[in-house]
Amino acid sequence: MRAKSYRLAILSSLCGLLLAGCQAAQQHDAVVCAQKAMASLEAGQTDHALSEFQQAAAKDETFAFAYAKIGDIQAGKGNYPAARQNYARAIKADPTQQEYAMRLGQAYRLMGQIAEAARAYLRATDIDPGSFKANLELANCYLQMGQTRQAQEHYSRALEIDPTSAEAFQNLAVAQETDGQNEQAIHSYLQSIEQNPTETRILVNLATCYVRQKQPHLAELALHRAIMIDNRNAAAHRQLGYCLFLQKKFEPAEDAYRRAIELAGEADSHAGIGTVMMARYISQEPPRDESLRARALQHWQRSLELKPDQPKMAALVARYKQPATPPSSVGQAQR
């Protein structure tokens, strides 16, 4: 009986050694395939590299690197579902690699599956809480989903790691602005501008916050700075027109809106210049300049052609078709 047990033990050990040897051989073959695949990638032979990586993964199902590279190639081809599947396999094979979770999150974002992307980025922050990129991308997902409290939390964490990130400050400001925290948003926009002083979009957003805080003069300064950087920024000219209108600087406001129309011809710019003209018409002592009213109506009507779903604008156009003393609600048409 003892002899039989001993023989079974020996047989079991031999099987284990054979299996281990087989696995080692398969792993070696998988590495060889991966090396050939990397050489193909360097030579620009993407399809051949994909085939070699797939062979590597077939030879060794625990080869996380091969799955990740398959995912990269599929993502490069725009096949994000296949990329997602292979990044998930890479994570299963090696759950300690943060980069695989980051790539999975990116694949989900490119597929428009933001909640799934957030879960992948959250996994990345669990692996490395001190990762700036993981916290930033997670915050971006939360912001896109409208979860601004969580977005602010992770933007703040990202800024603790890298306090020089203009992007993190800007997106934090957007989250704060969405939550109605305009003063905090202004501070964050200013911090973003300090890090990236030539980004006109940040200056335009800052101006919007200043307007909400009833500080159009500060908004005007921010927009002039944006226009000095890029005189072809239609949004800056349009917003400047609005700030000047709020300060009753009607003629400069018209000029700003005209420039915005020259650059983009958007409905809001036509609405804006029409409102400025109608405000000038209202402020005149009789006899009023009817050509001013006519031009205001033309711009309003053009705004409606470009963007028909403006019931307040349509009502104002109908009201002002005939000379009359317009109501004080004319400013409702302003954007």
300 and 330 fall within a common domain: yes
300 inside domain: yes
- At 10 the pLDDT is 45
Backbone dihedral angles phi then psi of residue 15, each to the nearest 5 degrees: -65, -40
Instruction: Tell me the residue range of the domain where 215 lies.
Output: 198-246
Residue 335: pLDDT over 70: no
- At 16 the pLDDT is 46
Read off the pLDDT of residues 262-301 as tens digits, 9 standing for 90 and up.
999 999 999 999 999 999 999 999 899 999 999 999 999 9
40 inside domain: yes
Read off the pLDDT of residues 108-129 as tens digits, 9 standing for 90 and up.
999 999 999 999 999 999 999 9
In this structure, which amino acid lies at residue 70? Answer: I
Cβ-proximal residues to 161 (8 Å cutoff; 6+ apart), any chain:
130, 131, 132, 135
User: Residue 72 and residue 304: Cα distance in Å, rounded?
Assistant: 47
How many distinct structural domains can be found in the chain? 3
- Cβ(174)–Cβ(204) below 8 Å: no
Show the tokens assigned to 85. Answer: 């599947």
Residue that is written with structure tokens 């001993």 in the block:
6
Residue 257: pLDDT over 90: yes
- Among 107, 128, 149, which residue terminates a domain? 128
HEC secondary structure over 43-55? CCCHHHHHHHHHH
- At 6 the pLDDT is 46
The CATH number of the domain where 89 resides is what? Answer: 1.25.40.10
Residue 20: pLDDT over 90: no
Read off the pLDDT of residues 166-223 as tens digits, 9 standing for 90 and up.
999 999 999 999 999 999 999 999 999 999 999 999 999 999 999 999 999 999 999 9
